[in-house]
Amino acid sequence: MTVEEQITELRGQIADLRERLSHLEQEWQGIPDLIEARLRLTDSRVAALSADMVGVKRTLGDLRGEVQALPRVLADMLAERKG
């Protein structure tokens, strides 16, 4: 293979590499948008879970009050039966 043929081959390889690099750069340009979309989705899910937790805490508070009142309610029911 002559020097000129080697140079031509190398130029072809360089052109191929530039094309591949161009494709990779195009793909990489979308990565920040993808990351931002994922972050927005995660924030949305965290907000929804947070709202759900408020409801769960409220329900637990109501349940705690009912459980704490149970002995008094049972005592009143027994008193009424005996009464």
pLDDT at 63: 93
pTM score of the predicted model:
0.51
Q: How many independent structural domains does the chain possess?
A: 1
CA atoms within 13 A on the CB side of 38: 6
Please write the tens of the pLDDT for every residue from 30-51: 899 999 999 999 999 999 999 9
User: 72 is in which domain, residue-wise?
Assistant: 3-82
What angle, 0 to 180 degrees and rounded to 10, lies between the N-to-C axes of helices 31-82 and 3-29?
30
Q: What is the DSSP string of 4-72?
A: HHHHHHHHHHHHHHHHHHHHHHHHHHTHHHHHHHHHHHHHHHHHHHHHHHHHHHHHHHHHHHHHHHHHH
Confidence of residue 83 (pLDDT cuts 50, 70, 90): confident
